[in-house]
């Protein structure tokens, strides 16, 4: 007895497409925190039916990005200053552990190349005042660092909080001072990794994340942002 799996595959593909498009809109603050949208409105915007939209919304709700409102569609969930403080504490601790693991392995220069490339891309982006490109290169650096540590459980835990940190960073990107310190701190971290200085690498990364967290929380306070 033959079964036709094509419709099932097509539906799954449409759900994935809806999920990726909606997720990107939320992370980049195209759909602002607190914004509400009807299922039909989203379906029209994405050019698809409501069924894949509904299933994608469930996934996004499970990730803490939206609240599904019966018969009302969804609401983009905000992130509070306390949320961000706690998230940065987690990211700082785990990324510093990743830096320590990587340094202890004393990586070869070729292995460090992605980190150096990302830092140089940050410098070039700042030189032309392209903050979006700077943010993309900065995230690439941190993503590579966590992945290169070689601990999948650690990486999965970090990336579970990555989306909410990304939203806050993009929301405040143009409210912060020009991020000239990050490239220096990244290169200092690369130096510690190259030298096999595990304690030094952890310290540099921890201080880097702590500084970023302080800057972010100052913006919340200065602009009286109770949530975003």
Tracing tokens 């990364």 back to the chain, one arrives at 205
Q: What CATH architecture applies to the domain 81-222?
A: Up-down Bundle (1.20)
Instruction: Tell me the pLDDT tens digit for each residue of 75-92.
Output: 998 877 788 888 889 999
Topology annotation, domain 6-76: Arc Repressor Mutant, subunit A (1.10.10)
The pLDDT score that the predictor gives to residue 93 is 96
Q: What order do you get walking across the sheet with 36-37 strand by strand?
A: 36-37, 73-76, 66-69
Q: How far is CA 109 from CA 190, 194, 196, 222, in A?
A: 10, 7, 12, 42
The rounded distance, in Å, linking the Cα atoms of 173 and 184 is 18
**C-alpha to C-alpha distance for 56 and 155, rounded to whole angstroms:** 24
DSSP reduced 3-state for 121: helix
Which residues of the chain form CATH 1.10.10.10?
6-76
The Cα 101–Cα 192 span in angstroms is 12
Of 3, 2, 45, nearest to 22 (Cα)?
Answer: 45
Task: Collect the ranges in the chain with pLDDT lower than 70.
Answer: 1-9, 11, 223-228
Q: Please report which helix (H) or strand (E) contains residue 73, including its range.
A: strand 73-76
> Which candidate, 208, 178, 177, places its Cα nearest to that of 190?
208
User: pTM, whole model, 2 decimals?
Assistant: 0.77
Dihedrals phi, psi of 37, to nearest 5 degrees: -145, 145
CA angle 93, 97, 99 (to 5 degrees): 115
DSSP-derived 3-state class of residue 67 = strand
d(CA 135, CA 210): 17
Predicted pLDDT of residue 3: 53
Query: What sign has the CA pseudo-torsion 198, 203, 206, 207?
Result: negative
Helices 152-172/6-27 angle, 10° precision: 50
Tens-place pLDDT, residues 166-208 = 887 777 787 778 888 899 999 999 999 999 999 999 999 999 9
Q: What are the residue ranges of CATH 1.20.120.530 in the chain?
A: 81-222
Q: In the prediction, which pLDDT does 8 show?
A: 56
Predicted confidence at residue 7, as pLDDT, reads 58
CA-to-CA dists, residue 18 to 15, 34, 61, 94, 167, angstroms: 5, 20, 14, 31, 19
């Amino acid at each position: 007895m033959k079964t036709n799996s094509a419709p099932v595959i097509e539906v799954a593909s449409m759900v994935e497409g809806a999920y990726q498009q909606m997720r990107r809109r939320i992370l980049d603050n195209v759909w602002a925190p607190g914004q509400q949208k009807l299922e039909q409105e989203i379906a029209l915007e994405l050019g698809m039916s409501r069924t894949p939209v509904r299933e994608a919304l469930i996934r996004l709700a499970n990730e803490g990005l939206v609240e599904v409102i019966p018969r009302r569609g969804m609401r983009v969930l905000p992130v509070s200053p306390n949320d961000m403080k706690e998230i940065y504490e987690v990211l700082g601790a785990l990324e510093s552990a990743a830096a320590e693991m990587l340094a202890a392995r004393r990586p070869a220069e070729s292995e460090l190349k992605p980190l150096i490339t990302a830092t140089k891309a940050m410098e070039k982006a700042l030189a032309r005042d392209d903050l979006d490109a700077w943010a993309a290169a900065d995230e690439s650096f941190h993503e590579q660092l966590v992945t290169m540590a070689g601990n999948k459980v650690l990486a999965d835990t970090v990336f579970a909080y990555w989306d909410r940190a990304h939203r806050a960073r993009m929301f405040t990107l143009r409210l912060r001072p020009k991020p000239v310190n990050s490239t220096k701190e990244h290169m200092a971290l690369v130096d510690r990794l190259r030298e096999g200085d595990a304690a030094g690498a952890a310290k540099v990364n921890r201080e880097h994340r702590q500084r970023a967290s302080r800057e972010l929380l100052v913006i919340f306070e200065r602009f009286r942002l109770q949530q975003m």
